[in-house]
Amino acid sequence: MKNILITGGAGFIGSHVVRLFVNNYPDYNIINLDSLTYAGNLENLKDIKDKSNYTFVKADICDYEEMERLFMGFDIDGVIHLAAESHVDRSIKDPFSFAKTNVMGTLSLLQAAKNKWRDNYNDKMFYHVSTDEVYGSLGDEGFFTEETSYDPHSPYSASKASSDHFVRAFHDTYGLPMVISNCSNNYGSYQFPEKLIPLFINNICHNKPLPVYGKGENIRDWLFVNDHARAIDVIFHKGKLGDTYNIGGFNEWKNIDLIKVIIKTVDSLLGRKKGESEKLITYVTDRAGHDFRYAIDSTKLKNELGWEPSLQFEEGIEKTVKWYLENQPWIDNVTSGDYQKYYKEMYS
Ligand code: NAD
Ligand code: TYD
């Protein structure tokens, strides 16, 4: 029996990772640690909450003493660390909370893991989940590889870059067994509707303006969240200690083209006229420091560990739009309360 601590398991990607591990590894105890910020929602895990190999703990990763107690109390052997503040726009408004959670929170987990494991590092693993945004911004050509130098531009990506450096420093200084992955933009079910895809699906449904930053020409590389969770599974079990793996599906989209695909899919599923909701597109002031292009080269992950994305983008987007249309109560729940205040401050 292994005791695996998954942090941020009530969030978007974390909930998919928790579900995959709870269902696929009945011999593991999965401890989901989450402080339930605005982005954390236990509804995301209601299908597995009663499984015997699953435990939820509400705690803040910045609380070092609590992390020490949890590592000792649950006899933790492995960590998959996803807890973070994750939205670039929020990091522009409030960089301190990003430094606190993403840097200090990661440090407190690292220190607790080191103290628990230092007498015997055998079969231990600290897996840090990071982002391609640490590499900065590309021009029209080229890809991020594992060798690309870090060049973060937003407070979010700067805080994630810093946390990656701390994880490597714990490996180099104390020998802590670790692995890092840097993934491209995710999409799929249970994503909080502040990020582009769920925000726009929800706005199209309610005939609300679609706020496109700048000219809509920025490019992102999109991966279906279940494929990210599968990659995390493979890297956790087969990744080389001390290594970094890039995760992405070679699936680049200019924002405005992606938005038109979303509109087409939602309109068709709602029985609206083709392209009817394009009138909702509203160009707004660009995001400060807006990275132009992200594109991940995940050849290493494919060649060394055999991972590949499981589906094509068109299929993933259709599944995703259907999920949001069929789960309106989930959206109503997460967009009540504080969300309205955030939306007003951000977009009006
Ligand atoms: P999310 O914002 O949906 O979820 C984050 C979770 O962390 C929430 O459940 C929240 O309650 C929890 N959390 C926040 N602060 C905490 C704290 N101090 N203590 C304990 N829990 C806390 O984020 P996500 O999109 O699921 O991203 C998860 C991870 O994956 C992050 O580390 C992010 O940087 C990384 N990542 C995200 C993407 C993406 O496209 N969303 C891409 C690559 C990497
Ligand atoms: P987002 O989902 O916030 O992810 P990230 O900034 O981490 O890549 O944004 C994806 C792209 O969509 C990014 O280029 C910014 C753009 N965007 C908009 O044009 N309008 C919006 O309201 C949002 C949230 C994002």
Cα 84 versus chain centre, distance: 9
Structure tokens given for 56: 């939820």
Radius of gyration of the chain (CA): 20
Percent of the chain scoring above 90 in pLDDT? 98
Rounded mean pLDDT of 53-75? 98
Q: CB of 185 closer than 6 A to ligand 2?
A: yes
Structure tokens at 107: 């440090």
- Beta carbons within 8 Å of 253's beta carbon, 6+ residues apart: 219, 220, 221, 222, 261, 313
Nearest CA to ligand 2 atom 11: 196
The pLDDT-based confidence of 348 (bands split at 50, 70, 90) is confident
**Which ligand does the CA of 58 lie closest to?**
1
How would residue 139 be classed by pLDDT, with cut points 50, 70 and 90? very high
**Residue 278 per-residue DSSP state:** G
pTM, entire model: 0.98
- Which stretch of DSSP H or E encloses residue 338? helix 338-347
**In the predicted structure, residue 1 carries a pLDDT above the cut 70:** no
| Residue 50: how many other CB atoms lie within 10 Å | 7
CA 29/CA 202 separation, integer angstroms: 36
Quote the mean pLDDT of the chain.
Answer: 97
Residues 150-188: pLDDT tens digits? 999 999 999 999 999 999 999 999 999 999 999 999 999
Closest listed ligand to the CA of 86: 1
Q: With a 6 A CB cut-off, is 212 part of the ligand 2 pocket?
A: yes
From 23-27, 88-92, 276-280, 342-346, the region with the lowest mean pLDDT? 342-346
Whether 156 is a known active-site residue: answer yes
Is pLDDT above 90 for 98? yes
| Mean pLDDT on 98-117 | 98
Contact 36, 9 (CB under 8 A): no
- Which of 131-140, 145-154, 335-344 comes out lowest in average pLDDT? 335-344
Residue 114 has pLDDT above 70, yes or no: yes
Q: What is the pLDDT of residue 307?
A: 98
pLDDT of residue 183: 98
Residues flanking ligand 1, CB < 6 Å: 7-8, 10-14, 34-37, 39-40, 60-62, 82-86, 101, 105, 129, 131, 160, 183, 185-186, 192
HSE value, Cβ hemisphere, 13 Å, CA-based, for 136: 8
Q: What digits encode the pLDDT tens for the residues 248-266?
A: 999 999 999 999 999 999 9
Task: Measure the CA–CA gap between 288 and 211, rounded to whole angstroms.
Answer: 15
Q: Tell how strand 185-187 and strand 252-254 pair up.
A: unpaired
